[in-house]
Amino acid sequence: MTAPVLTIDGPGGAGKGTISRLIAERLGWHLLDSGALYRITALAALRCEQALDDEAALAALAAGLDVSFLPGDSGVRVILDGDEVSGEIRTETVGDAASRVAALPRVREALLQRQRDFRQAPGLVADGRDMGTVVFLDAPLKVFLTASAEERAQRRYRQLREAGLSANLTSLLKEIQARDARDTQRSVAPLKPADDAITLDTTRLTIPEVVDRLIELLAQRGLAPNA
């Protein structure tokens, strides 16, 4: 039997990463942070000063990434070419570059099978923007998380401030709005809910409330009977 998959798609700042990790930990399932793969590709491109509009070169770079995900005390550790880049790939600079890289069809094709290979027993929580619409079309539960752009900017602002980094709320909001526009308007795998996805607005919900709701949905489908 094919391992079950919970896909969690949505725009940046909707809480997908934290919620996906918590559900995977609670169920003992594998975790795919697909956005990290695009961020890693973007970081690798920035490190070697590769132009972000050279599709062929970026696709080759994506196909040859030396990357791994390891468990850590505060989340998933991302290793690129032997170096931990967990924090570096979360910067706004890399995030903006990742959004540009992700719009390139050949880059997406290069990373497609790598993402599907994460599907292993007992199950997989797949976090991204096209997990339910492209990568795992047969997933038994697809969720689309969203939140207002203003709320997502506030969350990012608090996250940066708590990490001791400077941040400008107005700039963050503009960056989020620009990224949303790119993600929803790109020609390949645009950001949108799958036809059979459940949409959940997290603007006024806490992370534990969202996690409990998704676990409940899995249980209703017989996918997490012991959760």
Q: Does residue 13 have a known ligand-binding role?
A: yes
Rounded CA-CA distance 115/102 in Å is 14
DSSP single-letter state for residue 197 = P
Query: 140: which residues sit within 8 A by CB, 6+ positions away?
Result: 4, 5, 221, 223
Pairing relation of β-strands 83-84 and 75-80? antiparallel
Confirm or deny that 192 is annotated as ligand binding: no
Is 11 annotated to bind a ligand? Reply is yes
12 is in an annotated binding site: yes
And the tokens for 44?
Answer: 């690798």
Spatial CA neighbour of 48 closest among 65, 31, 35: 65
4 is in an annotated binding site: no
State how far the Cα of 4 lies from the Cα of 86, in Å rounded to an integer.
Answer: 27
Is 16 annotated in some ligand binding site? Answer: yes
Residue bearing tokens 């896909």: 7
Contact 79, 67 (CB under 8 A): yes
Locate tokens 């003992």: which residue? 28
- Provide the annotated binding site for ATP: 10-18
- Provide the annotated binding site: 10-18
